Amino acid sequence: MELTIDNVNWPKEFPYRPRTRVEVTNDHTSLYLHYYVEGEQLRAVTDRDGGPVWEDSCVEFFCQVPGAPHYYNFEANCIGAMVASRRLGRNKDVVPLSAEEMSLIGRRCTLPRAAFEERDGMFAWEVELTIPLSLIFREGAPRFPATLRANFYKCADMTKKPHYLSWQPINLPRPDFHCPQFFGELTLE
């Protein structure tokens, strides 16, 4: 399925809307996310996992197994540096994925994995992520459920045009993606 990440949740402060979409597929062992982004400004200062990728040109996927208290965040900048964790909230019970777990996430980017300062102009870039089922279902599961609670995001906190787009709308006074109450239903089968 193809989804558009185009909700501008804070239009007065952050009106910029780069064109962003994601194709979502699965084979019952992994979830495949293919992001397509077109927009002004491109930034990739973080070139290592665990760094502040959300400050760069970044795409994000947050998901929660229905009925589970925890959710997972998978955030990747335009050169494939990532942050991923299991958590109850922004700063509550945060358990980062280990280096070994991070190495299981397949990544392919149209940009080389080399850091650079912000560039002006029009840019088109893609990021593909392959997220194994075992990272989302740590307790083990035979297959994906029919649905996940989820949201997809596009952000770039430290660019000249900071923006915070989402697939599902977020009704909060300030930008915050760590809000499972605004996740939508993602059908997997």
| Angle in degrees, CA 125, 131, 134, rounded to 5 | 170
**Residue type for position 54:** W
CB-CB neighbours of 158 under 10 Å? 15
Residue 100 pLDDT: 95
Return the bridge partners of 23, or none: 2, 34
In this prediction the pTM is: 0.95
In CATH, the architecture of 2-187 is Sandwich (2.60)
Domain ranges of the chain: 2-187
Could you list the pLDDT tens digit for every one of the 189 residues in the chain?
999 999 999 999 999 999 999 999 998 789 999 999 999 999 999 999 999 999 999 999 999 988 889 999 999 999 999 999 999 988 999 999 999 999 999 999 999 999 999 999 999 999 999 999 888 876 555 556 778 899 999 999 999 999 999 999 999 999 999 999 999 999 876
> In this structure, are residues 35 and 126 in contact, taking their beta carbons and an 8 Å threshold?
yes
